[in-house]
Amino acid sequence: MTDMPAPTVRTSDVRTTSFGDWISVDSRTVHLADSQSMETHVVRFPAIALVVPLDGDDLVLIRQFRFPPQTWLIEAPAGRVEAHEDPAEAAVRELWEETGFHVRTMRLAGELRISPHLSDETTYVYEATGLTPGAAHPDKGEFIQRLVVSRTEARAMVREGRIVDAKTIAALALCDVI
């Protein structure tokens, strides 16, 4: 973040279009200080909790089928923070749902804004240690496989383009994996 003050603007004509229970788009007219105006659109999306689970030299990732690109992606476990849910609690829940792992220690590693030009989404990145394995409990419609890889293999997967998910790559960097 920066200490610079926000520009002086005024908004009007705010229109919200909802898509399902948790995505909406705000369209508005922004009036700038120089008397010009422009249309802006903001995708309103709930916060995401993402977990980098570390076990010594190994980490736990997932291979998940993603419908928009119609392909399997290798990612860190992550999911939506429900309304009135603490992001750390969501991180624990998502790790258990997607991998089956229980965690003893969770540390906030940082926050990400993946598409700030388009969305207000914040991704909270947690580093998890003290892992105990168990059975995964994916949500309906989730196709997930658990992967345990070494830090060296994770770095190679990023370099070779096998991990292409931006939030996962940024999270691995925040947790000093790559």
Kindly report, residue by residue over 63-103, the tens digit of the pLDDT: 999 999 999 999 999 999 999 999 999 999 999 999 999 99
Give yes or no: residues 52 and 40 share one domain.
no
Q: Look up the pTM and report it.
A: 0.92
Mean pLDDT, range 48-63, rounded to an integer? 98
Give yes or no: residues 26 and 54 share one domain.
no
Give yes or no: residues 107 and 20 share one domain.
no
Mean pLDDT, range 147-158, rounded to an integer? 98
Domain containing 119 equals 48-174
DSSP the chain: ---PPPP-EEEEEEEEEEETTTEEEEEEEEEETTS-EEEEEEEE---EEEEEEEETTEEEEEEEEETTTTEEEEE--EEEPPTT--HHHHHHHHHHHHH--EEEEEEEEEEE-S-TTTB---EEEEEEEEEE-----PPTT--EEEEEEEHHHHHHHHHTTS---HHHHHHHHHTT--
Give yes or no: residues 53 and 136 share one domain.
yes
Confidence of residue 8 (pLDDT cuts 50, 70, 90): confident
